[in-house]
Amino acid sequence: MHETGVLNGKIAVVTGAGTGIGRAIARTFANEGATLLLNGRRREPLEAVRKEIEEAGGTAHIHQGDVSSQADAQALVDAAKTTLGRLDVLVNNAGKSYDALILRMKWDALDEALAVNLKSVFYLCSAAGKVMLAQKSGAIVNVSSVVALGGNAGQSAYVAAKAGVLGLTKSLAQEFGSRGIRVNAIAPGFIETDMTSVLPEAVQTTYRSRIPLGRFGAAEEVARTALFLASDSASYITGQTLAVDGGLTMR
């Protein structure tokens, strides 16, 4: 941990922190001085991330729960306030991909897609917003997806939920801005995670050919973008979406 890190002394909550992009964000924030509250549905991956952070000299706590439940989302924010005293940064990273053509969609799967990828963000932004409004400070970073910018056949439920996150981000930036709270979003492209590693090599090659930089991104590259948006370096940026996608969706 850097004593002069850009998040030194800050309290940060990261959801979906046990794997992939969430893990990278948690480690990056801790390395820059933040005290972390790690959230996810499974405890074992969270324990592994906490161990990594502590071995690197950082500080992390765990609050297991399912933030697609309003009660669990509220409990997570309450834990940050009660245990750590405040909440400076919220990263809404929890999410789950759903693949189904609309003509074959199961409506309970639609409900789950919206709950995990969109309603959880509503719940947490509402709960965290109350704390941050009282503090008159805070930063919220919502992790969406590049598919929210251009759509994707066979993922309409996931796309609609992630696009909803972008609209919510802009609305909350307007609602919270007068109290000094910034709300931004990240739209990751094809990032090297467990989700992309299972794609057949031919499919990966096809996707890479569409990316101007010619490669998939690393989770750490998304994490550094989240760090920027959470830090004072982005003090005059709110309501924006940064695509971290190697140029895939440039317009």
Q: Which residues of the chain have pLDDT under 50?
A: none
- Using CA atoms, how far residue 108 sits from 98, 105, 112, 113, 162, in Å, is 12, 9, 6, 9, 18
Q: What is the pLDDT of residue 167?
A: 98
Q: What is the pLDDT of residue 193?
A: 81
Taking alpha carbons only, the member of 150, 54, 61, 156 closest to residue 104 is 156
Question: 128 near 183, Cβ under 8 Å?
Answer: no
Q: What is the pLDDT of residue 251?
A: 61
Q: What is the pLDDT of residue 198?
A: 75
3-state secondary structure of 183: strand
User: What residue segments make up the domains of the chain, in order of their start?
Assistant: 11-244
Correct CATH for 11-244 of 1.10.10.10, 3.40.50.2000, 3.40.50.720, 3.90.190.20: 3.40.50.720
Angle at 92 between CA 152 and CA 149, to 5 degrees: 25
Taking alpha carbons only, the member of 217, 242, 213 closest to residue 227 is 242
Active-site residue, selected from the candidate residues 98, 158, 207, 236: 158
pTM of the model: 0.95
| 123 catalytically annotated | no
